[in-house]
Structure 1
Amino acid sequence: MINKNVFSILCAILVWVLGVSFYLLSFYLPLLENPELQSNIVLVLAIIPSACFGTYLFYKNRYMKPAALALTFVAVATLLDALITVPVFIIPHGGRYSEFFGDPMFYTILVEFYFIVLYYGTHLTKPLKA
């Protein structure tokens, strides 16, 4: 049996993969003139069901305080962005770490991600406490 910390990281990786997949797929369906804006809008919307799904998978069999799980998800996503997203998808297209991590949208999405996991986790764990 995988312990809860390792499983929380695996769930966070799954959510990150889903988010990056939606972000990248949005470039293949151009709806707006600004593809970067379009991909950010898609990610902001896609992170909601992705984060809920990852949170649900975690709480299906394990327990951790929702705030701790949310911080784990955010930390893993940030680390994977630094190790994979930026060097593989951003830098080859002329971007830089400073642009990626200096973009206010990055922090907006992180805050959204944290609060979705926190909120959904809190509501999923209420039946466990009863």
Structure 2
Amino acid sequence: MKTIKTLGISIAIWILGVSAFTLIYELPITENRYVQANIGLALVVPILVWAGAWLYYRKGSSTHGLKLGLAMLLVSASLDALITVPLLILPSGGSYASFFGSMDFWLIGLEFITVSALFWYFKVFKPTHSITQ
């Protein structure tokens, strides 16, 4: 795995994801803006992760998509713990437990892993066919 490249792509995905969440939260579409922002983020994350996987694999890496997805999720969760929770969640009355214990967080984490694995399977994985009788 290309560590620096993974870190850079993961940080970019996190920045764009937090920006999208914040922007969607501010739009006056529904009364429950938290749910609105999480739905928006759930729609944006697959696009961001797919693009990140494309950037990662475009020069021939063969790292399994599950490993890449887990690494990207770990970086994003770490940045959430260091920046998002203290700056956005705690001031609004939330907690680390409410953020990381939320089903929303884990569903979006599952999106990270699933999308990167699907990218790897459809765009990188080259099955070898062997015919045995």
Same fold at TM > 0.5: yes
Match in the other structure for 1:38 = 36
> Which of 86-95 and 42-51 deviates more?
86-95
Percentage of pairs with the same residue: 34
CA distance 1:62–1:88, change in 2 (3 Å): farther
Give the Å deviation of 1:126.
Answer: 3.2
Separation in 1 of the partners of 2:56 and 2:97? 33
Query: Aligned with 1:88: secondary structure?
Result: helix
Separation in 1 of the partners of 2:113 and 2:125? 18
What is the one-letter code of the residue matched to 1:123? F
Structure 2 alignment gaps of length 5 or more: 129-133
- 1:21-80 Cα offsets, whole Å, 9 max, x none, are 110001221211100000000000000111111111111124122121111011111111
Give the Å deviation of 1:93.
Answer: 1.4
What is the one-letter code of the residue matched to 1:44? A
Give the Å deviation of 1:81.
Answer: 0.8
What is the one-letter code of the residue matched to 2:51? F
Residue 54 of structure 1 is aligned with which of 41, 52, 55?
A: 52
How many residues are paired up?
127
Structure 2 length normalisation: TM-score?
0.88
Matched, 1:89 2:88: yes
Residue 7 of structure 2 is aligned with which of 6, 9, 14?
A: 9
Match in the other structure for 1:68 = 67
Alpha carbon RMSD of aligned pairs, Å? 1.7
Separation in 2 of the partners of 1:96 and 1:20? 17
Ranges of 4+ aligned residues in structure 1 off by more than 6 Å: none
Separation in 1 of the partners of 2:17 and 2:108? 11
Matched, 1:126 2:122: no
Give the Å deviation of 1:107.
Answer: 0.7
